[in-house]
Amino acid sequence: MSGKLFAIVVILIALASAVPIINHTFMGANVALPEDISTHGAEIDKQIDETMIEAGLSFLAAQLVLGFFVWQYAGRKDGVLKNFPGGAKYLVLAAVLLVGAEAIALGAIGTKAWATVYFKPASADALPIQVQAGQFAFYFRYAGPDGKFGGLHPDKIDEGNSNFFGLDPENDVAARDDITSGELVIPVNKEIHLMMHAKDVGHSFYVRELRIQQDFVPGLDLSLHFTATKVGKYEIVCTQLCGLGHYNMKAYLNVMSQDDFDKWLKAQSN
């Protein structure tokens, strides 16, 4: 009797666990994620849906089979099986093939979503913006009217003086008009090329609406590109535990019309 009860519990847990999967996949992606505001986000959402469906169906099937066996055989008193019927070898082989096939299938479907972001370089007319993550803030640098970034000199970093990147305006003409901001301000419908580096430890750049999450790795210059399609203000959060102030490490992404962006950039130059 207790065996049958246990089987019912197993099946109930499986069905309850399926609710968020069904919600996510069939009630629209916005149940789990906010509206997508990027050109590449649809691919990512599709990938998440497909992963949810595949993994969700496999999970449900496995749990239902488990429940069935518990229901059917939990009450048997005729001892324990000494050998698995047909031998364990084939079962293991079948499991490896099944799981392997699923992993390969997900990978194959995901390649496209991944490649549009990572394998394709930013186009030549993308707006380059440098991002520096440091404990516990993001800073963004624009090349300024001359279109050239000044060189970085870590020994010149002087945060109390707002020299977060370590620019050397005294000797470096290109650095003099560089614009540093605590907010990522970008024009809408324009490709943005982010050049990312960490000042100290590992951090992560996450904007849910952009469907972008990219780690900063100390010592590596990383590159990312995207196009935002909707004007608005969104949150950029650090999603890599980076120290005491991690909870407070955030910035805002401000997507503006091209006109507003030009005005903002001009105001920053003065």
List of residues contacting another protein (CB under 8 A)? 134-138, 159-162, 164, 169-170, 180-183, 243-245, 248-252
Q: Which tokens is 80 given?
A: 């324990």
Nearer to another protein by C-beta: 56 or 151? 151
Task: Tell me whether the omega of the peptide bond preceding residue 149 falls within 30 degrees of 0, making it cis.
Answer: no
Task: Give SS3 for 176.
Answer: coil
Minimum CB separation from another protein for residue 179, in Å?
10
For the record, the structure tokens of 86 come out as: 């047909």
Provide, rounded to whole angstroms, the least separation between the CB of residue 40 and another protein: 26
Residue 225 parent element (H or E)? strand 222-227
- Taking the complex as a whole, the smallest distance from the CB of residue 26 to another protein amounts, in Å, to 37
The count of residues in the chain is 270
For another protein, the closer of residues 223 and 254 by Cβ is: 254
- Name the minimum Å distance from CB 226 to another protein: 21
From the list 254, 150, 237, 159, the residue with the least C-alpha distance to 200 is: 159
159 φ, ψ (degrees, to nearest 5): -65, -35
- Closest listed residue to residue 182, CA positions, set 263, 270, 254: 254
Q: Given the complex with another protein, which of 44 and 261 has the nearer CB atom? A: 261
Nearer to another protein, 191 or 200 (CB): 200
Q: Give me the residues paired with residue 228 across strands.
A: 38
CB closer to another protein out of 76 and 176: 176
Q: How far is the CB of 252 from another protein (least distance, A)?
A: 6
What span, in angstroms and rounded, lies between the C-alpha atoms of 200 and 202?
A: 7
**Amino acid occupying residue 36:** D
For another protein, the closer of residues 2 and 161 by Cβ is 161
CB of 171 to another protein, least distance (A): 9
User: Residues 213-224, buried b or exposed e (16+ Cβ, 10 A)?
Assistant: ebbbbeeeebeb
